[in-house]
Structure 1
Amino acid sequence: MAALLAGALTGCSLGGEQEPERDPAASDPLPAASPAPSVEAPRVPSAPELPGRVLGLDFADEEHGFALLAECRQTLPRGAGRDCAFGVAVLDGDGAWRLREAPMGDGDLDEFGFLVEAASPGHARLSAQGDPYDLGDDAVWVTRDAGRSWTSGEARPEGTVAAIPDGARLSLTTDGLVALMPETAAYRLLREQPRLTDLGEPRPLGDGRHWVAGRDPETGDPALAVSRASGRGWRTLAPLPTAPPFRNLVRHRDVWLAAGPDGLYALENGLSDEPDGGTSSLYGDSLLGIHVSEDDGRSWRRVWRHLDGDSRPGALLGTPMTATDGSLRVYGYDAIYVSRDGGYTFAVERPGPPPEEPLLTRAGYLLTDLTNPGHYRLSADGFTWHTVVLGGG
């Protein structure tokens, strides 16, 4: 399967900056798109006959995954929740989804209180919790036989591990970054942690590396760390060339990383204060700048900056995608935008609020339909897509 490329972000508007100039000594921007053969999309099967609505979905790879569903039979009195039956659908390499009993039985539905994580083929972890990062004493169940049976698991990490196993999921807890062990579906704390504070959710890059955003412990500025050695060590990337007035006006800044065919993209977003005391975005966070590195994050060149007036993209939704045709695609709250010149300029590819939200998974890019629960599309290259329907919504 082609390399998978990652990154994500949300956005808004900030004035007082000039448009970035192209560096005449810099390398040429990414090539424009041209028709070319694409990698076949993962052929994950549909299962519209599954009962209920999908609450959570995770893939271990293209042929193995777990989906948590809830079928609500009636509405209880206001404030009492919904009486629902839960089930777990398992894709176990035989080309079909199998419905298994969920370990928690029937009960009220709180779709934000469950987290399903695929550890490896046939192995998964299911957590019932209000906050996925505050594990506390919340209930945890694990399966090692594709959902045929479940046993109680430990909420907190069970020991440490030197490296992330091949293909394993990397997660974030209050203890730090943890690897979800393929054989046991238990968390183990990585012995080497990034030298950053306020860590965000760890994510993969297409070449097998992992990255995480946080803050520089000395300056407090947003920072990125990347591990090439499966978590055995982390390298903090060079600071981004953020220019005034961003540093003084932005109350919250965040950075996300994406990998393109010719280098890395760093996408910087934040919540800014205008001189009149207001905020510059209806949606809160703004896309402030896009930076490109051609030396693996040792230096950066800013190629896009938020301008005065009507600057687009503005507020963004989900994971920006770098496709095999060299394009950078971002989903905004008002349109889908695409850049074919390495992030310098963007054009509207599809006007109006996007119907889907993008995410990178171990099975490829995943588009989740925002109005039709259980409707998805998968792609290995961000270019060719396969539709999957799970459950009756």
Structure 2
Amino acid sequence: MNWVYGQRAVVAALSAAALLVVGCSSAEGVRDGGKGPSGSAGASAAPRGESPPRIPSMTGLPGWAYSLGFASDGSGFALIARCPNEDEERERGTGCVHKGAVLDHGAKTWRVIDVPVPDTKDDWGVTSDLMLIGPGRALITEGLASVDDRTWFTKDGGRTWRESTTKVTGTAAAVPAGSRLVGHCDRWDKEPDGNEICGRSRLATVLPTTGEYRALASQPPLAGYVQPAGETGRLFFASGESRESGRPALAVSADRGRTWTVSEPPKANPKGWGFDVVSSRAGLFALERGQLPAEETVKNGLLAIYASKDEGRTWQRVWAFRSGIEPRSVLGAVAADDGSLTVYGESGAWTSATGGRTFRPGEGSTGPAGSAHETPLGWLWSDSYGNGTYRISKDGVRWHTFQLTD
């Protein structure tokens, strides 16, 4: 569930207590030796670099855009929210009003659409989220229920919507093309302090034909809280605990979830929150998230970084948290085709040219550095104060900047 208050976003993801925040500006269409998002250095000689997708900007939207996603053909979706300030909220008695924006395949401009998401209650902010599951296909989750949350699915670019829920019905042999691997909590338990914790979880996928949830027929052989840990080309990752040792573990599938291989990153923290796996031509990186000591004053702690040269079958720890040494937090990471790894954190962007072993600050990057993740179209970076600045890249080196603003 995401909560966003006011007209500019402060987004919290419960699974990692993630706080997405703002980044610095960069030039459009970055070339070799240029600056990427938040001043992270580009390649000096990036081999076989790809030009970034040319996503059009749009201003005058009826609110600020969030939950942006792209399909492999260049089409995209975004949710739009217009949230009142405190005085407006008291007068109107409701919270945020929702619209959507669609970029059709080959289109030169975005199309504003109606979405079936109800207005939120006053003082609730934004709770809904959008997931792309193929060209012209998207699933909106309302974000108000821990179990069997309400959803709306479109397969015609937002022209019509079908209401359903996140309830898992039946199984799928594999993750369908264009769809995603998702985590599903079947039971929530209350802890002594009153907080809820997932008592039983499994992996699922969403059918791109109907938007319905299906459990993966072959679950990874993991214990504990099992959750997706990244998709890198043909590889799907999940994190949990080893059934043998009880230690943190990663499972990898090279056949869209039909079979899984488990490995244990060495010296992983048993109290960690899980892993995020990113890939480049140089190999894989797994970033271990977790709570740092209170004196570090970060919400999205980075515990360790692991590298793999054999598609996730084995891992080597290349970096570990040390007090006061950056990067101490992670809001996203980009593994670029020039071999660099950039970690976007709460105090800046930090780039490694040594396989994740050492980092240097991105030039001009002080303070929160935004967030980044991989989409079927490429790496997507966003500021997260709702200012509407996005950057997209095929190779993590050359970036195109676009704006989606009200």
Q: TM-score, normalised by structure 2?
A: 0.76
Pairing of 1:145-294 with structure 2 (within 5 A): 145-175=156-186, 176-196=202-222, 197-205=224-232, 207-237=233-263, 239-242=264-267, 251-252=271-272, 254-271=274-291, 279=294, 281-284=296-299, 286-294=301-309
Residue 147 of structure 1 deviates from its aligned partner by 1.3
The percentage of aligned residue pairs carrying the same residue is 33
1:52/1:112 Cα in 2 relative to 1: closer, same or farther (>3 Å)? closer
Residue 228 of structure 1 deviates from its aligned partner by 0.3
Q: Distance in 1 between matches of 2:143 and 2:305?
A: 35
Could you tell me which amino acid in structure 2 is paired with residue 91 of structure 1?
A: L
Larger radius of gyration: 1
Q: Distance in 2 between matches of 1:127 and 1:255?
A: 24
Asked which structure has the greater RCO (Cα within 8 Å, sep 6+), the reply is 1
Q: Indicate which of 54, 67, 83 corresponds to 1:56.
A: 67
Please give the secondary structure, in 1, of the residue aligned with 2:132: strand
Q: More deviation in 148-157 or 67-76?
A: 67-76
Pairing of 1:297-376 with structure 2 (within 5 A): 297-307=312-322, 310-314=324-328, 316-350=329-363, 351-376=365-390
1:349/1:179 Cα in 2 relative to 1: closer, same or farther (>3 Å)? same
1:264/1:348 Cα in 2 relative to 1: closer, same or farther (>3 Å)? same
Q: TM-score, normalised by structure 1?
A: 0.79
Could you tell me which amino acid in structure 2 is paired with residue 35 of structure 1?
A: A
Q: Which runs of 5+ in 2 are unaligned?
A: 1-14, 19-41, 187-201
**1:42–1:62 Cα contact (<8 Å) kept:** no
**1:55–1:111 Cα contact (<8 Å) kept:** no
Instruction: Answer yes or no: is 1:88 the counterpart of 2:100.
Output: yes
Residue 226 of structure 1 deviates from its aligned partner by 0.8
Q: Which runs of 5+ in 1 are unaligned?
A: 1-7, 12-31, 274-278
Q: More deviation in 211-220 or 380-389?
A: 211-220
Q: Distance in 1 between matches of 2:373 and 2:282?
A: 22
Match of 2:34 in 1: none
Q: More deviation in 259-268 or 181-190?
A: 259-268
**1:222–1:253 Cα contact (<8 Å) kept:** no
**1:318–1:359 Cα contact (<8 Å) kept:** no
Aligned residues: 347
Match of 1:20 in 2: none
1:298/1:251 Cα in 2 relative to 1: closer, same or farther (>3 Å)? closer
RMSD: 2.9
Q: Distance in 2 between matches of 1:89 and 1:359?
A: 20
Residue 111 of structure 1 deviates from its aligned partner by 4.4
Q: Distance in 1 between matches of 2:281 and 2:362?
A: 21
Match of 2:39 in 1: none
Match of 2:403 in 1: 389
